[in-house]
Amino acid sequence: MLRRHGVPAVLALLVAASSAARAQETRCERGDVEVHALTFSGNAAFDDATLAAGIVTTPSSFLRRLFRFGGTRRCLDRREFPADRLRLIVWYRNHGFADATVDTVVTPLSRNRIEVRFAITEGAPVLVDTVRFEGMDAVPERVALLRGLPTQVGGRFDRYANRATKDTLARRLRDGGYPEAEAFLGYDLRTEARRATVVFSVVPGPRRRIGAVRLERAGRGGTPPQVTEAAVRRLAGLEPGQLYREKDLERAKRTLYQAEAFTQVEVQPGAAREDSTLTVDVAVTEGFMRSARLGGGWGTLDCFRATGELTEYNLFKTATRLEMRGRLSKIGIGAPIDGAPDLCSRAVREDPYSDSLNYYVSATLSQPSLLRASFVPTLSLYSERRSEFKAFLRTAPIGAALALNRALPRRTHSLGYSIELGRTDAQPALFCAVFQVCVLADQDALRRLQRVAVVSAGSGYERTDNPLDPSRGLSGRADVRYASRFTGSDSTIQFARLSADGAYYVPLTNDVVLAVRLRLGGVVGPTLALDEADRYVPAQERLFGGGPTTVRGFRQNELGPAVYIPEAYDTISVATGLPVSSIAAGDTVYFRSADTVQNRAVPTGGNAMLIGNIELRIASPVFPELLRWVAFVDLGRVWNRGAGTERLRFTALAATPGIGIRVRTPIGYLRADLAYNDYRRPAGAAYFDAPLADGGQLFCVSPGNTLRIVRTAGGALAQEAGSCPSGFRPPRPGNFLSRLTPSIAIGQAF
């Protein structure tokens, strides 16, 4: 017999019973028994985690079961326990297992601890042998509308899939010009034969187009509206005569909210007319048209920092948004706002690029209605000075950027073009070691103002339960940046930079989350050829590793290639091969530094990077809602592809284990980590900056080098041309404590 229904009362009760499963009360009363373990048997169609999520009975936390103290103790609810059996039966029968049965087995482990098992007999499922769609003959797009529906011939008779099919049909029709479309579900269930016929009856109604678009505007607090009617209509993008699509109404509502000028937006279909048109009603209520934010803080690598933002949401009464932003860092140590270096960390005081105030100021225009494909265009003008710890200082007096951003429920896409006039200051040793530019005049050419024009594209995917503190799901992002003469960049600055980042989160138990992250990066020439590794790449585009968010066993940017500036060196006479104390006119000597002297490392970055992180996040036995413990292993490498023996091998990856603690605060988790690093710094070239009295030149002082230096009659020093050997390598840390690297930050590492 064929049965038609909207939502049968019996099915509604079954679904309600299944969805009533909720988190069990964690407090245990006197006399209650603790649920030490929860298992399922006989379940082939659904895994244990799926079934456990639909019932109330829950075992104690992993830490409680492991250590017998701390963690969360959960006890058996004797009223809900029988209902859990019914919930599982409802679940199976709604998914097509008409004969499924569930028994419960309770095994005492001690006087107040038990193990609970649900023994399931699934039986053979009822299969769908026929699917019919009625009332669709007059719909022109019938084939496309029926493609990819959840209910399929040969599948299980799944009530949830049937309802999803009914709702999907109605939604697709409303998106195709049928605002009054309805769909009904019927079926013929032949239990003994394990077969079912499913019928979807559709009443599409007349096909309609948008007639009038009626607009109602209200100002904030009863004041006259400030956004013009033309601006609201442009944002909505609904035009008389276009085919009615429900998704267009939703897009209009979303776009109006994206303008951030309205606190309430309603976009609803109105009365239908005899001429096959439909009125659409749009009502908006305005909010504040301006906002301002101020912030400040202190960071290990920033010292004091401050931020400010001023936003105008209705520029020229057109709902165009103007954002003016400013950031300052290195306050206290960077000129001209210096004078308090003792309040900054030792790392900042030792950084040669922290003596200048870092800043960023920008003005950004955006209007979400300019493009109908959900891309939001933004145009920015900016000026900035920023430093990378111990690596470089980048100054851009003026820059402009055009970006197109599209945000979907789980994906983000972006396209951009930026052009700026700027310069990069780096240690002379970096230019000499990485780019073989050792002459001061040539280095000055690289430091001059240059035009950098970059075309960029990026795509991100986010499917996690909590973007700020994920415990389940995955996320990823890929980006590419390209600069060449064709994009308008200076002829000396041409590159293509590619990067990819992916993370996966899975709960091992209720209290333990496994988090895994992989990050890849590479910089190649503008033709994307791998053999262009020697081409000059700006320091700000090189790849760096090490620090609180990459490989925590290394300090910021200290994973990968480096050059060194020793504090002492040996002066060796070519004639005698013995050390000499001074250089007379006409003498030929060479500088050769010893490995044991104090030195300053200058990270040079690389053109290839591989970083991986594995992290166990464990709820604390004490105050589990406030504290978490973390055990992690970070591994990675940054290297220069094509540079001699620089090749990627798994054994070449540096692995640094560590532990950490997370403290929940109103602004996110406060993160403190301690990592162990037993690695020596990589070998690199060593250079000495000669005093200005000696010409201020840069000399190779690597152990084993034979580049001769001559003091001329005029008193200046000159070194012969040649490659400076990468023979300098700092010694391994001497004791256990010196091999520990602490870090403190806000938020999860990834």
Tens digits of per-residue pLDDT, 208-261? Answer: 999 999 999 999 988 999 999 999 999 999 999 999 999 999 999 988 998 899
pTM given for the model: 0.75
The more confident residue out of 617 and 274 is 617
Contact between 89 and 54 under an 8 Å Cβ cutoff? The reply is no
State the residue range of the domain holding 225. Answer: 209-286
DSSP per-residue string spanning 411-468: EEEEEEEEEEEEEEEE-HHHHHHHH---SHHHHHHHHS-EEEEEEEEEEEEEEES-SS
Rg (CA), the chain: 34
Same domain as 182, residue 50: no
pLDDT at 21: 42
Contact between 561 and 682 under an 8 Å Cβ cutoff? The reply is yes
Contact between 348 and 374 under an 8 Å Cβ cutoff? The reply is no
Same domain as 309, residue 175: no
**Residue type present at position 134:** E
pLDDT, one tens digit per residue, over 535-549 is: 667 778 889 999 999
- The three-state secondary structure class of 111 is coil
Task: Answer yes or no: is pLDDT of 181 > 90.
Answer: yes
Q: Of the segments 420-424, 634-638, 642-646, which one has the largest average pLDDT value? A: 634-638
Average pLDDT, whole number, for the chain?
86
pLDDT at 281: 96
Same domain as 482, residue 365: yes
What confidence category does residue 8 fall into, taking pLDDT thresholds of 50, 70 and 90?
very low
Name the least confident of 45-54, 61-70, 459-468, 585-594: 585-594
pLDDT, one tens digit per residue, over 648-689 is: 565 689 999 999 999 998 888 899 999 999 998 888 888 887
Sign of CA dihedral 675, 676, 682, 686: positive
- The three-state secondary structure class of 195 is strand
Helices 229-236 and 246-258 cross at an angle (nearest 10°) of: 130
Contact between 420 and 383 under an 8 Å Cβ cutoff? The reply is no
Same domain as 453, residue 346: yes
Total tally of structural domains belonging to the chain: 4
Q: Which CATH number covers residue 173?
A: 3.10.20.310
Same domain as 301, residue 437: yes
Quick one: average pLDDT of 473-499? Answer: 93
The residue behind tokens 């996320």 is: 475
Quick one: average pLDDT of 346-351? Answer: 87
Contact between 368 and 258 under an 8 Å Cβ cutoff? The reply is yes
Distance separating alpha carbons of residues 524 and 537, to the nearest angstrom: 9
pLDDT at 732: 81
Task: Answer yes or no: is pLDDT of 328 > 90.
Answer: yes
Quick one: average pLDDT of 300-319? Answer: 93
Same domain as 356, residue 224: no
Same domain as 404, residue 305: yes
Same domain as 468, residue 346: yes
Nearest to 512 by CA among 413, 611, 628, 387: 628
Name the least confident of 61-65, 67-71, 520-524, 583-587: 583-587
619: β partners: 628
Is 310 a domain residue?
Answer: yes
Same domain as 428, residue 282: no
Task: Answer yes or no: is pLDDT of 338 > 70.
Answer: yes
| Domain final position from 244, 259, 286 | 286
Q: What is the DSSP letter of 733?
A: P
In which order are the strands placed within the sheet that holds 113-121?
34-41, 113-121, 101-110
Same domain as 266, residue 327: no
The residue behind tokens 């990823």 is: 476
Contact between 175 and 204 under an 8 Å Cβ cutoff? The reply is no
What confidence category does residue 24 fall into, taking pLDDT thresholds of 50, 70 and 90?
very low
Distance separating alpha carbons of residues 528 and 395, to the nearest angstrom: 27
Is 165 a domain residue?
Answer: yes
Same domain as 425, residue 357: yes
Is 262 a domain residue?
Answer: yes
Same domain as 431, residue 339: yes
Is 691 a domain residue?
Answer: no
